[in-house]
Amino acid sequence: MGHALGVDIGGTGIKAAIVDTDTGELVSERIKLPTPSGGEPNDIVATVVTLVEKLGGLGEGVPVGVCFPAIVRNGRTMSAANVSKKWIGLEAEALFEKALGRDIHFVNDADAAGYAEVRYGAAKDVTGLVLLTTLGTGIGSALIYNGVLIPNSELGHLIVDGRDAEKRASYAAKERSRLSWKSWAKRLQKYYGHLEMLFSPDLFVVGGGVSKSYQEFLPLLSLSTPIVPAVHRNNAGILGAAALAALPR
Ligand code: BGC
């Protein structure tokens, strides 16, 4: 039975747990600490080390997966839409590896969440193209084709009606502008309609905390692609990061 440790770094909180990567179940408690204000690299790394210690440290040979809200190329963070700009261009994976004394698998947060839904959730056994979006502070996206992740799709930054899509259609945008479900759904309709035209996916999965209220907005959308809520929501990043870390390389 394979166990791996997953860490999910977000703009407001950092969460970690140990995962049974065969079943996708948590085998430890899930612990969470607030993201240090400013979201600076050294502070975030220190918080991750604390979380790992709180989980009892790293067992011999246990893979570690860490997900982060930025483009991740060869271990380097290449963007910083909702975290400190100091992450841009940083050898982030190496920084975590040094602090933890262990190789890690480092991945974009939405990619991890999408992979979790394909392995253990709403898109399990779905063939073809699955497109997951997380509706939170920003919009994250994951493209998974026949179980294989195509990383760093960044479809939250599509320009729709001349604006960065996440600025109009994320859950934060709904909160900021105090939009009703109906007004927000109009923006989501444009966004998902555009994605559908570009990608012809077989399934849309909608993640992020707001997906627990999916009945308020998914029925208002008119798309030809099936669209379903994510199953894992708060744990998806942890599960996906752990599962990706446990893949044979
Ligand atoms: C970032 C993505 C991230 C998403 C969700 C976007 O603003 O560009 O990398 O996956 O937010 O956190």
The two structure tokens encoding residue 220 = 């208002």
The two structure tokens encoding residue 12 = 């407001």
Which atom in ligand 1 lies closest to the alpha carbon of residue 110?
A: 10
107-120: pLDDT as tens digits: 999 999 999 999 99
Q: Which residues, 6 or more positions from 126, have their beta carbon under 8 angstroms from its beta carbon?
A: 118, 202, 203
pLDDT of residue 233: 86
Q: Region 186-207: what's the mean pLDDT?
A: 98
Spell out the long-range contacts of 155-161 with Cβ–Cβ below 8 A and sequence spacing 24 or more: 155/131, 155/195, 156/81, 156/110, 157/81, 158/191, 158/194, 158/195, 160/190, 160/191, 160/194, 161/190
Distance 85 CA to ligand 1 centre (A): 13
Q: Say which amino acid occupies 38.
A: G
- % the chain with pLDDT above 70: 100
Which protein residues are within 6 Å of ligand 1, measured from CB?
69-71, 79, 81-82, 108-110, 134, 138, 140, 154, 156, 166
Pinpoint the alpha helices (H) of the chain: 41-54, 92-100, 109-120, 165-169, 171-176, 181-199, 214-217, 236-246
Of 247, 239, 246, 212, nearest to 228 by C-alpha is 212
Residue 10 DSSP code = -
For residues 128 and 84, give the distance between their C-alpha atoms in angstroms, rounded to a whole number: 36
Distance 189 CA to ligand 1 centre (A): 20
Residue nearest to atom 11 of ligand 1 (CA): 138
Mutate to test the pocket of ligand 1, among 71, 115, 135, 166 (most ligand atoms within 8 A of CB): 166
Mutate to test the pocket of ligand 1, among 139, 167, 210 (most ligand atoms within 8 A of CB): 139
72-111: pLDDT as tens digits: 999 999 998 778 999 999 999 999 999 999 999 999 999 9
Distance 135 CA to ligand 1 centre (A): 10
For residues 14 and 7, give the distance between their C-alpha atoms in angstroms, rounded to a whole number: 7
**Which residues are paired to 203 by β-bridges?**
130
Of 225, 50, 56, nearest to 132 by C-alpha is 225
Contact 93, 109 (CB under 8 A): no
Distance 61 CA to ligand 1 centre (A): 30
Residue nearest to atom 4 of ligand 1 (CA): 140
Q: Say which amino acid occupies 186.
A: K
For each of the domains in the chain, give its residue range(s) and CATH number, in order of start: 3-108 (3.30.420.40), 122-229 (3.30.420.40)
Question: Within 13 Å of residue 175, how many CA atoms lie on the same side as its CB?
Answer: 10
What pTM does this model have? Answer: 0.96
- 1: pLDDT strictly greater than 70: no
Contact 123, 157 (CB under 8 A): no
Distance 111 CA to ligand 1 centre (A): 10
pLDDT of residue 83: 85
**Confidence grade of residue 68 (pLDDT, cut at 50, 70, 90):** very high
Distance 70 CA to ligand 1 centre (A): 5
Helices 236-246, 109-120: axis angle to 10 degrees equals 80
- Tokens 């907005």, located at residue: 217
For residues 220 and 10, give the distance between their C-alpha atoms in angstroms, rounded to a whole number: 29
- % the chain with pLDDT above 90: 93
The two structure tokens encoding residue 71 = 């483009």
